[in-house]
Structure 1
Amino acid sequence: MDLDGVATFVAATDAGRFQEAAVELGVTQQAVSKRVAALERALGVRLFTRTARGARLTIDGQAFLPHARELLRVAERAAASVRAGRRPLRVDVLSSRGAGSGLMRAFHRAHPQADLDVLTLFEMDAAVAALRSGAIDATFRAVGAPGRPLPEDIAYVRVLDEPLQVLTGPAHALAGARSVTLPQLAGHRIWMPGIVAGTEWAAYYDAMVGEFGLTIEATGPNFGSDALLDTIADTPALATFMGEHTRLVWPADHGLRRIPVTGPTPVYPHCLLWHRDNGHPALAALRTHLATTAPPPAAPGTWTPPWTPPAAGV
């Protein structure tokens, strides 16, 4: 059913004359007559009778009128549900405890009026597909890993370089250090069961191993962050990497130590990705917020893989 015809029928009913309905709709009287006639053919009934005083509803027209008004109301609600700025901004943060989640919390504090849906997607390919389909508006990812080119319709900007820290238990050889260098870590076992082959973070740590000769182990099942913290606390031979902005809580008797890494400081290059045609106003506000509040990437004395994109993004 043609909604223009339904809207014309309602306008003609309210005006009482096709000529006045035409003026209201900004079309010719002939166009009004054609639309009404097409609607009558589609319904198989007459909706109006012409009189000297104008157009009067038939019995069928009277029966159809309330449904026609409801059709127009439903159509308006449907359009409003996807109108720019009327639906929530949907952002993938990869992990609810990671840096992306922290960036979105800060954005929400600065823009409490922005309606947000924050979710977590695991695979980079799934996140990019969701951007292209419109299922999400933005995602936080590392960009540039070998073999993982972005489609041309996906834009990005590097928004945060997150320093990595070493997490050890109280009996680890480095537990008392105020800081450590990457070369000093070369003889220690770094255990990271959450690394999954083919992901952007796996490519990041592969590059670190290749450049600094570290030993990073991803063996054993990944039972989550709580199990990782328990193991690091109880095992003097193991340490792990943790982002400076990662929010984790552990029992006080674990005695865990977060130790800064220097000389250089490895940083994880978080980028914001979005579809180039996405016009959601809250996305523009998010990009502006990140550009004006996040520390500038590529600071001196830091390390990122050689495939990391320029700080300016594209």
Structure 2
Amino acid sequence: MSWILFGLLAGITLGFYDYWTKKAMTGNGVFPVVFWSSMFGAFAWLPFFTPFTSSSSFHVDIGITSWHSQALILVKGLMMTASWLFAYFSVRELPLSFSGAVRASGPIWTFIGGAIVFGDYLTPIQLTAVLASVFAYYLLSQIGKSEGISALKSLPMAMMLVATVLSAMTTVYDKYIVQTVGLASAEIQAWSAIHRFLIAGLLLALFCFKTRTYQRLVWSIWIPLTGLSWVVAEWIYFLAIADPAANVTYLSIFRRTSLVVGFLLSVTLIGERNVMRKSIVIALIVASTATLVLQG
């Protein structure tokens, strides 16, 4: 059951990450924020490459990681960076409740991947809980119509859908390289953070070179908090998937609790509309998540 607790804790941390991302993106371009937040995430792992952390379980020996392992980790970095680019644009343009609603399809994509790769099939009750959660997010997205947001015509909604699919693919891939390939979770996280920083830097340089402009960046504390909170959430998440009993479909649902945290922060500090209607739908999400925990 410990992997369930870690999964829920990762979801809570991601709720703060979503809120801080929203604040970091206000008035800023996507490429600079992805680059600078990735830089702080990479810097958080740098001490664990040094001899001073050799006695720590999170120490990463530079000489041990093979080129094959680096290639496998690079795939993860590419998928995550692409997901961030799409998601950050969406989060900047949409209220947190709506960008979170698009993530409703995340468990479905993860379920498909988990079923194909790992045989993580669900019982009827568990499948009902998954579908209830997905349906709740769908209802939440429908509320957007009263706020002038059309799910079928909104580019930010479409970009969040792409980000969600990429995130689901990364979830399944993480379990594969940890449990099937056998890479150490600290090795994956540390090198992936470095890869994402380098990829984001390359993309920012290419964008500036092609457009002959530099996207605006208004510096704030939210930018480093975005990068650091992702590192913390990922670290907790890897504690969950390191457990052979971990079910990636459950973890995808648990990570959706980030919407609850992000929504509460948005209501309190930003000012969400239709709070009561959205609260009822989010209560359904919490109930479906609780059902999965009890069934676990």
Bin the TM-score by the shorter chain: under 0.3
- TM-score in terms of structure 2 length: 0.25
Give the greater-gyration-radius structure (CA): 1
Relative CO higher for 1 or 2, CA cutoff 8 Å, sep ≥ 6?
2
- TM-score in terms of structure 1 length: 0.24
Greater share of helix: 2
Greater share of strand: 1
